[in-house]
Amino acid sequence: MTARPALPDWCDGLPWPERETHKHARGRLGVVSGKATQTGAARLAARAGLRIGAGLVRILCPPDAAPVIAPAIEAIMLAPFGSPEALAEAAEGMDAMVIGPAAGVNEITQDNVRALALTGAALVVDADGLTAFENWPDGLFEVLDRDDVLTPHEGEFGRLFPGLLDLGREAAAAEAAKRARAVVVLKGPETVIAAPDGRLAVNGNGVPWLATAGTGDVLAGMIGGLMAQRMDSFDAARAAVWMHAEAARGFGPGLIAEDLPERLPAVLAALYQQTG
């Protein structure tokens, strides 16, 4: 009889609901959308967060984006905001927030990230939320803490941490996590996850089908969805990266980002069966 492969150690921290669990106990995730012509990324992240188990997911958007998003969502909630202060107010009560996917590379995004950092929600900062700080990385790092997660690909990483990749991906991610005082997910064929306390992991189940637009937005939502359920941020990042790849593997050629959230139930069910 063939022995079952050992499960990753982050499986011990997966937040399975109990019989009496209600939606608010499963965690509340917020996702910040870009303007009316750039809402798809936030919708991908929000759906992924909902699929991975967050009990309540809300998209927070500029007022002009609300009429675009509203017809395209069902279980996901919607809240417009018109200023960084209004964004922070709309995010009140959220356990985790995703900001960056198609948010815009500008000072508004900088202000929104910094406003959210004051809310107490754990942050996942992705895409434009990273590039917006290219010329002011300290403006990002000074508001982060160990529960926050940065999710750069190599281009975004190089803008925030010039020259670090010369050290090699693992050493670069480890040093970046120390500088940012947050978890860093350096995406790639073998994604590196580093925590500011020195923990480091390299994901080994990457697949080529993920090389398509929007898959990073889905990953950000998955990480945020697990963090909203109070999973340790480093473990949430490791788990999401692994499940992201498994979902892609289960679909195979022809995968687009929209397919990934719909593959998550099968991935989760397999893990539940093995850990239950």
Give domain limits for the chain. Answer: 25-145+207-275
Contacts of residue 257, defined as CB under 8 A and 6 or more positions apart, other chains included, come to 44, 212, 213, 214, 215, 217, 218
6 pLDDT more than 90: no
Report the top-level CATH class of 25-145+207-275. Answer: alpha beta
Q: Give phi and psi for 192, each to the nearest 5.
A: -105, 130
Distance CA 227, CA 220 (A): 11
Rounded average pLDDT over 248-253? 97
Nearest CA to 151 out of 112, 175, 124 is that of 124
Distance CA 114, CA 25 (A): 27
217 pLDDT more than 80: yes
Distance CA 59, CA 206 (A): 29
4 pLDDT more than 70: no
Each residue's pLDDT tens digit, 73-101: 999 999 999 999 999 999 999 999 999 99
Q: Which pairing describes strands 192-194 and 183-186: parallel, antiparallel, or unpaired? A: antiparallel
Query: pTM for the complete prediction?
Result: 0.97
Each residue's pLDDT tens digit, 157-194: 999 999 999 999 999 999 999 999 999 999 999 999 99
Percent of the chain with pLDDT over 90: 94
238 pLDDT more than 50: yes
Phi/psi-derived region of residue 27, left when phi > 0, alpha when psi is between -120 and 50, beta in every other case: left
Nearest CA to 57 out of 99, 28, 16 is that of 28
Q: Give phi and psi for 46, each to the nearest 5.
A: -65, -45
3-state SS assignment for residue 170: helix
The answer to whether the beta carbons of residues 232 and 252 sit under 8 Å apart is no
Each residue's pLDDT tens digit, 255-273: 999 999 999 999 999 999 9
The pLDDT mean for the chain works out to 96
Which amino acid is located at 134 in the chain?
Answer: E
User: What's the distance, CA 205 to chain centroid?
Assistant: 18
Q: And the tokens for 114?
A: 């910094």
- Neighbouring C-beta atoms of residue 272, cutoff 10 Å: 13
- Please measure the distance between the N-terminal and C-terminal CA atoms of the chain and give it in whole angstroms: 21
